[in-house]
Amino acid sequence: MLSALARPAGAALRRSFSTSAQKNAKVAVLGASGGIGQPLSLLLKNSPLVSRLTLYDIAHTPGVAADLSHIETRATVKGYLGPEQLPDCLKGCDVVVIPAGVPRKPGMTRDDLFNTNATIVATLTAACAQHCPEAMICIIANPVNSTIPITAEVFKKHGVYNPNKIFGVTTLDIVRANTFVAELKGLDPARVSVPVIGGHAGKTIIPLISQCTPKVDFPQDQLTTLTGRIQEAGTEVVKAKAGAGSATLSMAYAGARFVFSLLDAMNGKEGVVECSFVKSQETDCTYFSTPLLLGKKGIEKNLGIGKISSFEEKMIAEAIPELKASIKKGEDFVKNMK
C-alpha cells in the first residue's frame, strides 16, 4: 500500500525544473555558504515553487546570494550575514532548511559531530521558534538522530512546538537505496522506490527492500551486502573525498527533493509521500522515520512501517537501543543548556 502511494524517486526534483506550478513559497537556508548549502540553494533557486529565497550563514552569504540572484528564475534571493541578521532572514518564511554545521572527516562517526552541531542547531532553531514559529523546519545537520530531538525540545521551550512541522531529512538514504537497487537490477533509478525507516546513522538506517517498487528479490548474502552499503554509503563518500568533506552534492539533491515534496503538499497536491525522522508512536522510540503522507500543515498521516521481512524486523530490534541513546543525548543537551 505504501509503495503504491510513493512517487517514483526524484520526480519532484525533475518536475521542479518545469514552469507549471507557479506558487509563492518563502524558503530560508541556514548554512547556505557551506558544502551542502550552496548546491541546495542553487536547486531551490531553480524551482518555480519558490518565490523568495533567503540565505543565512556566518560567512560569504552576500556573495552566494549575489551569484544566485543572476539566475533567470523567479525566486528573489537575499543573503544575511551573522546572528544580528538572522531574524530578518527568517521573518515570514514557510519552510526553513538547516544544513548548517561541520562535516565529517575520515574516521569520524556522525556522533563525533555532536557537540559542535548540537550548539549550532539549538541556536538556529531557537531563532526559528522566535521569528517563524509556524514554518516547516527541515533539519539536515548531523547527527539527525539527535538534532531532531534538540529541535523539538527548543520549540517546546519557546511554547511553539508542533510535531507535524519538524522533519529530519533522511531522504539521502532513500535516494541511495533507489540508486543501488537500480544498479544491481539494471533498472531506471527514477522508477525505483525503496522506503528507508529508522534513523539516519549506520545500523539505524533500515532499508525495506521487501517493500521496494517494483518488487525485487535478492539472495540473502547479496541483500546483506546491499543493506550494509546503504547504511555506510556516507562513509564511502567521506573516504573517497579523503579529508575534503562528506556527501554534499547528493545531500543537496536529496534535501531539495524533500523540500519540493513538502511544498507540493503544502500547495494542496495529494498523495505526496516521503520518509522522514519525526516524532513517532510507531515503535518504542519517541522519534522514528517511516513513510509520511504530507499535507498543507506538514504531516497529514504517519503511514507506519507496514509489512516487513524477518530480516528487517531484526534490524529494527538492533537499531532501537542506539536510536534511544541518540534521542536521549539530544534531549539532555537542551535540558542542560544555560
Active site residues: 200
Handedness of CA 178, 179, 183, 184 (dihedral sign): negative
| The three grid cell numbers given for residue 8, joined into one nine-digit string | 517514483
298 is in an annotated binding site: no
50-57 and 25-30 beta bridge pairing: parallel
Among candidate residues 129, 74, 122, the one with its CA nearest the CA of residue 96: 129
191 is in an annotated binding site: no
178 is in an annotated binding site: no
| Beta-bridge partner residues of 207 | 196
145 is in an annotated binding site: no
CA distance 223 to 206: 12
CA distance 330 to 337: 11
188 is in an annotated binding site: no
Element (H, E) at 79: strand 76-81
DSSP letter, residue 246: S
199 is in an annotated binding site: no
Residue 107 backbone zone (phi > 0: left; psi -120 to 50: alpha; other: beta): left
332 is in an annotated binding site: no
57 is in an annotated binding site: yes
| The three grid cell numbers given for residue 238, joined into one nine-digit string | 567521506
117 is in an annotated binding site: yes
110 is in an annotated binding site: yes
142 is in an annotated binding site: yes
Residue 244 backbone zone (phi > 0: left; psi -120 to 50: alpha; other: beta): alpha
Q: Which residues are annotated as a binding site?
A: 31-37, 57, 104, 110, 117, 140-142, 176, 251
Q: Which residues are annotated as a binding site for substrate?
A: 104, 110, 142, 176
Q: Which residues are annotated as a binding site for NAD(+)?
A: 31-37, 57, 117, 140-142, 251
